[in-house]
Amino acid sequence: MTPLNKPVRRVTVHPHRGRLLVAALEPGDVLTLRQKGRRAVEELSLAWCYDQAVIRRVMSEKAAKAAARKAKREGRG
């Protein structure tokens, strides 16, 4: 992999709330997001984003298992 030494910026394809978003990967493992044409920037740690993605996946898997158990239980009755 290539280390991130310079910011990499991209514009989204689909608008969010009427405006395109500009996403940037910055050195120091930071993800920045802003609306195109605006200056306000939101910064996120890439580690935090990864943690949130794992938490969402685990919660989704737990919900699917619970739904399967419920369906199995209701099928017996």
C-beta of residue 29 within 8 angstroms of C-beta of residue 45:
yes
* 77 pLDDT more than 70: no
Convert the pLDDT of each residue in 3-29 to its tens digit.
999 999 999 999 999 999 999 999 999
At position 40, the amino acid (one-letter code) is: A
> Given this model, what pLDDT does residue 40 score?
96
> Given this model, what pLDDT does residue 38 score?
96
Which run of H or E residues covers position 9?
A: strand 8-11
Instruction: Give the range of the structural domain holding residue 21, as residue numbers without chain letter.
Output: 8-76
> Given this model, what pLDDT does residue 76 score?
65
Convert the pLDDT of each residue in 23-71 to its tens digit.
999 999 999 999 999 999 999 999 999 999 999 999 999 999 999 999 9
Quote the number of domains for the chain: 1
Asked, for residue 39, whether it belongs to a domain, the answer is yes
> Given this model, what pLDDT does residue 54 score?
98
Asked, for residue 32, whether it belongs to a domain, the answer is yes
Asked, for residue 63, whether it belongs to a domain, the answer is yes
